[in-house]
Amino acid sequence: MSETRLTRCRKRKLEELNECSLMDKSILENNLNTSKEMLLNGSKRLKRTSKARLNEISTDEKFVKNSIKTPKTDCKNSQKKYLDTIYEDFVKKGTNTKKIVNSIVNMYKKDKDKALLSVVHYFFRIAGGIKVITLDMLKTMAVPELVQKLTVNYEEQDGYYPIVSNLTKWKGVRKNISAFCSDLIEAIKHEILFDKYFVKQILSILMGMTDSQVRAFRHSSTFYCMKLMTPMVKIKCAMKKKIDLSSQSNSSFSNIENLKRSREDLKINFDILDAYINCIFQGVFVNRYRDSVSDIRSICIAEMERWMEYDRSEYLQDSYLKYIGWLLFDKSGTVRQTALHVLHYVYSDPKNVKLLSLFSMRFKDRFLDMILDKDNFVRVESVSIVTHIIAHSPNLLSDDDITGIINLIYVSQRNLAVAAANFLDIYIKNMISLECDDLDESINQSIDSEGDVSSKKDKFDTFYIKKLIKFLVQHGLPSHTSYFVDSILTNNDQLIRWHIFMNLILGENTFGIKLSDAEEIQIFEILYWSLYQSTTGNQPANRSGQKRAQTAKDQKRMLKNNENFCIQLLPHVEKLILMYSNELSIITNIIKILILCNLDYCHMYTQNISQIFKKIKKTIYLHNNQNLNYAVINFINHLTNSKNIIQDRATSFKHLLIQEFKNNFYQLQLKIKNIYNSSSNKEQQYSELEKLKYDLTSSLNRIKCLGKSFNIFEKNLFECVMFIMDLEFNDKEWQDIFCDCIKICHMSLCWARYEMESNEDGEIIIFLSNNVGRYLKRCILLCESKINTISCEAFSSICDIMIMFRYTTEPDQISKISYAPDFEFQKSLLSFVRINIFDAEIANDVESEDKPLKDLRQERSFAINNKRTCLGGICKIIIYNILPFKHSSLIIKHFGVFYTYYGDIIKDLIIRLRDIEPEELAKSFFSAFRSLYEDCLDFPSVKTKKIMNNLSGHFIACLNVDYKKIRKPIVLIHRKIIFYAISFKNAEDEKSNNLNILRYLVPFSQKLVKTDKSFVLHLLIDNIPDYCTQKKMPEQYESVEMYKKSLATGSIKYREEFDLVDDEESTIINNLLAKDEPS
């Protein structure tokens, strides 16, 4: 009976222990003691039983004890499971932290220790810890001992703990922690915050973790402390206001005692809270703001922004600002940016700028230095801070400092340029405000004299644009006005107030402002780029920044800007052309502006369109300028392509202009021809030609510009230009004339080909068949000119014409005009490439000491661009197989030496040949590799080895990663170089062998598949000479062994593998073995 009752008791206790999921250590001990008492009572009741029965009962007692110990571990696991479940819910994105906080507060009211344990467990788990914290550990262990125990055998897992991990499940951890800390302090701010237990215990543990050597603990706990301190500062600020209000209250006598008591309570709580805040600041911030981890430093300094927002009077003191100032010198760009971001917030409030006057004076130089920081975001923040400073302290910066900042408008980074434009905006507004009294007086005088009262905005914008133009003239870069306008237009609309520009240009309603000649030139430049960017939405070239697609709203806004501009400008077009016909840059901009105008408003100047055309024609003859010619021709083309009332008149004007330009050139050509026929004295001929040189240059330039847009084909024109090309002048002053002649003949042939395709005229076919070869032969002679510009222009034209008129076997009209270069012609082309493109001056960076460095760089840049154009042309005719593929070896040979200048062009050539004819590419590379190796034998040095290795490395980088496509050419390269390496001129002479070339073939082994490695290795072993041993030829032996080792890596025995290869592999190998050994 007693045995049954004892067993039933034991089972009931086991079931209770298994059902308990949150049972802590004290509950387990109580249950264990209860079980012992029940066992003892049961043994007393069974005293009268036999000795054997008692032994049986004692055995059952031991069993019950052991069975109770086992659920103790299970209970601990269930407690850990419960806390981990809440932890998993906590770290999820979008978690409602207020529910977790409310559950902790309710738990605290019932059991303080359990609530404290849950909060500490959350913080510890988020720091990456996996051990379980128990109440005994919290009660019995000191904080250093507890932290030390938790860090034993801790693994940081390469630094990927929750708050720094990039995993998807941890993305919301930082946001949840911030919300949890804020909600926790907000929920306990009335009582629990001041009970000197809950918050005190949490802070003591977290501060112990901040001193840990484990980065995860130190990082996470610093984040917790900073996030806990921020709501405390907010509560402290509110309590301070309450204390001040209670001291100023005028309540009745009966409420004075109550007010005193509440005020005393507030002071006590205020002191407690202030102690917590000071403890965190002195114990965590002061130690961790200089931590070795940059993100910890950023966390510390970032929270100061919130503190300054809540309590400006305390945290805007030098005792706190000094930490921000020191971190401006931090080695991490992120920390510097965070410090500047905090200062940017502080300086954005005008009330704070005066409080920070001493700080600004002390760290002004550092702000200016950070404008040139390597981190672009740091530069932007520093410019923004200096902008806030100068807005309230205009005299703090010198003129040189201001100019240096404003010049950042021209940089390619858009955000930095916009920040510099905002600085310029504030600077100009300060200048206007300082001169306000004088400006008001001049405004009143202009109003009295003109009787025209404008709005205040128009007055301000007039002076603003005047200051802007004046600055641009004095300090700007005229050739980069597009960058300047793009930066200003981003956040400023003064540049699209067209009527202000027109008033300044026409001198109407300008409030006494007059523009100088330089300012007039600049205002038209600004006007053009403002109209271009505001009506097209295009950014300047090379200006980085986010480019978004234009929306319907953007297009509507651009059309509105164009409409407003047309209304302001078009009525005054004729007057402006007449006023500025002698100013080249202004008249060019006026015509470019007319191109941008909406043709729907062209009726505003339709009545005087003939007069406008006449004035434009006069300006063309007045100025010999290519930009003006292109602008006029684009304007005419713009009008002729539109369907409006001006189209017919513009078309007639176009034909008239073309014929007039041609007739003018014919007259000049006839004069030159008469000079040659009338006199045989070259000096006399030269002196008479010098008088016609300017007119000839102008005439050719106008015809060249016409040919870019209009059909200028005419047999007589081609013959006259060819006559000029036949003149022999090596003077640099004639280089523009020869270059224009080449371009005109080139365009004439292109337009003739276009007419032939649209209308198969027999005369045009005869003309092309007779003159294409004639023109190319004349250009090949000009390629020998000592003047680099002429030779490069002629070579580029040859390459383009040969592609257009390349040989074809198809029975059509094109085959009649095709041209196939002969051997001598090909030889001349390759000779030009060898001498002029791959010259030693570029490879060795030879510089002349006779010219200034700036001029030398400009000339060098211009020469390299010309050479790149020529190299691109020769590569095109090789790709089109006009020149045989084998001639690409000349270009590939220089791939390593000239990689800096021509690497992209040669790489594109190799890739295209790889896709078209991979075997021909392999043969070309072998020829280039062999030729370069033989050249290097004459000058053996470390540099020659580097040249060979560079060629191998760059060539391999161009090959496709698909091994099936490059398999055959790679094997062919190995085979050819092996046979070349074992070819000896004299077997007894070590210098006559080529075995050293095998060391440069090692990088190509990685592109071989296993089967091919075995084949190549077998080929090498079978053909290597017997006398190539370490004793006789140590250097050659080393090269062979290096090559063997590269082939042996990843390969298998050739004979075993050869029987297992598939049909395709067997065919490749048999074909290669069947080839004759190269001589």
Helix (H, G, I), strand (E, B) or coil at 685: helix
- Per-residue pLDDT of 320-370, as tens digits, reads 999 999 999 999 999 999 999 999 999 988 888 888 888 999 999 999 999
pLDDT mean across residues, the chain: 80
* Secondary structure of 291-351 as H, E, C letters: CCCHHHHHHHHHCHHHHHHHCHHHHCCHHHHHHHHHHCCCCCHHHHHHHHHHHHHHHHCHH
Q: Is the pLDDT of residue 912 over 80?
A: yes
DSSP state of 806: B
The answer to whether residues 956 and 984 belong to one domain is no
Do 236 and 89 lie in one domain? The reply is yes
Would you say the pTM of this structure is higher than 0.95?
no
Q: Tell whether 899 and 1027 lie within a shared domain.
A: no
Count structural domains, the chain: 4
Which residues make Cβ contacts (< 8 Å) with residue 1041, sequence separation at least 6?
Answer: none
Same domain, yes or no: 233 and 180: yes
Give the HSE-up count for residue 420: Cα atoms under 13 Å, Cβ half-sphere. Answer: 27
Encoding tokens for residue 348? 């954005």
Which pLDDT belongs to residue 229?
95
Q: Please name every residue paired with 544 in a beta bridge, in sequence order, or none if there are none.
A: 413
pLDDT (tens digit, 9 = 90+) per residue, 535-571? 888 888 888 766 667 788 888 888 888 888 888 888 8
Phi, psi of 249, rounded to the nearest 5 degrees: -75, 140
Q: How confident is the model at residue 936 (pLDDT cuts 50, 70, 90)?
A: confident
For residues 622-648, average pLDDT: 86
Residue 1055 pLDDT exceeds 60: no
Q: Which amino acid type is present at position 367?
A: F
- What pLDDT digit, counting tens, does each position of 848-870 carry? 445 566 667 788 888 899 999 99
pLDDT at 1056 over 50: no
Q: Is residue 179 part of a domain?
A: yes
- Helix 788-804 / helix 735-758 crossing angle, nearest 10 deg: 10
- Lowest model confidence (mean pLDDT) among 4-13, 400-409, 709-718: 4-13
Residue 726 lies in a domain: yes
Query: Would you place residue 810 in the very low, low, confident or very high pLDDT band (cuts 50, 70, 90)?
Result: low
pLDDT class of 929 with cuts at 50, 70, 90? very high
pLDDT of residue 922: 92
Cα separation, 942 vs 931, in Å, equals: 18
- pLDDT band at residue 588 under the 50/70/90 scheme: very high
| Residue 781: band (very low, low, confident or very high) from pLDDT cuts 50, 70, 90 | very high
For residue 993, give the nearest of 1001, 984, 1005 by alpha carbon: 984
Whether residue 191 sits in one domain with residue 130: yes
Q: Is the pLDDT of residue 621 over 50?
A: yes
Q: Give the range among 94-108, 368-382, 742-756 with minimum mean pLDDT.
A: 94-108
In-domain check, residue 870:
yes
Residue 405 lies in a domain: no
Using one digit for the tens of pLDDT, what is the confidence trace for 482-530? Answer: 999 999 988 888 888 898 899 899 888 777 788 888 899 999 999 999 9
Greatest Cα pair distance, the chain, in angstroms, is 158
Contacts of 60 (CB under 8 A, 6+ apart): 3, 6, 7, 10, 39
Q: How confident is the model at residue 73 (pLDDT cuts 50, 70, 90)?
A: very low
pLDDT of residue 940: 67
Say whether both 749 and 819 belong to one domain.
yes
Q: Do residue 85 and residue 227 come from a single domain?
A: yes
Q: Are residues 927 and 1002 in the same domain?
A: no
Do 717 and 830 reside in the same domain of the chain? yes
Neighbour-count burial for 917-930, b at 16+ CB within 10 Å, e otherwise: bbebbbbbbbbbbb
Host domain of residue 892 = 857-961
Distance from C-alpha of 585 to C-alpha of 521, rounded to nearest angstrom: 7
Please name which of 843, 896, 834 lies closest in space to residue 871, comparing C-alpha atoms: 834
Whether residues 227 and 138 fall in one domain: yes
Domain closes at, from 961, 989, 1021: 961
Domain co-membership, 134 together with 87: yes
**Which residue, 961, 987, 1009, sits at the end of a domain?**
961
Structural domain includes residue 720? yes
Q: What is the pLDDT of residues 979-1006, one digit of tens each?
A: 888 876 555 555 556 788 888 888 888 8
By percentage, how much of the chain surpasses pLDDT 70? Answer: 78
Q: How confident is the model at residue 57 (pLDDT cuts 50, 70, 90)?
A: very low
User: 30 in helix, strand or coil?
Assistant: helix
Q: Looking at the structure, do residues 741 and 788 belong to the same domain, yes or no? A: yes
Q: Can you give the pLDDT at residue 43?
A: 43
Say which residue the tokens 């033989």 belong to: 934
Going from the C-alpha of 392 to that of each of 352, 419, 588, 1072, the distances in angstroms are 10, 17, 42, 82
Q: Which of 185, 178, 176 is nearest to 89 (CA)?
A: 176
1074 pLDDT higher than 90: no
Q: Is residue 829 part of a domain?
A: yes
- Which residues are CB-contacts of 906 (< 8 A; sequence separation ≥ 6)? 871, 875, 891, 892, 894, 895, 898, 899
Q: How many Å apart are CA 1017 and CA 1026, to the nearest integer?
A: 16
Residue 328 domain flag: no
Burial grade of 1073 (CB within 10 A; 0-12, 13-18, 19 or more): exposed
What pLDDT is stored for residue 852 in this prediction? 60
pLDDT at 561: 87
Q: Is residue 475 domain-resident?
A: no
Give the end of a domain, one of 913, 934, 961: 961
Per-residue pLDDT band for 437 (boundaries 50, 70, 90) equals low
Position 182 confidence tier, pLDDT thresholds 50, 70, 90: very high
Give the model's pLDDT for residue 876: 94
Q: What is the mean pLDDT of residues 8-26?
A: 43
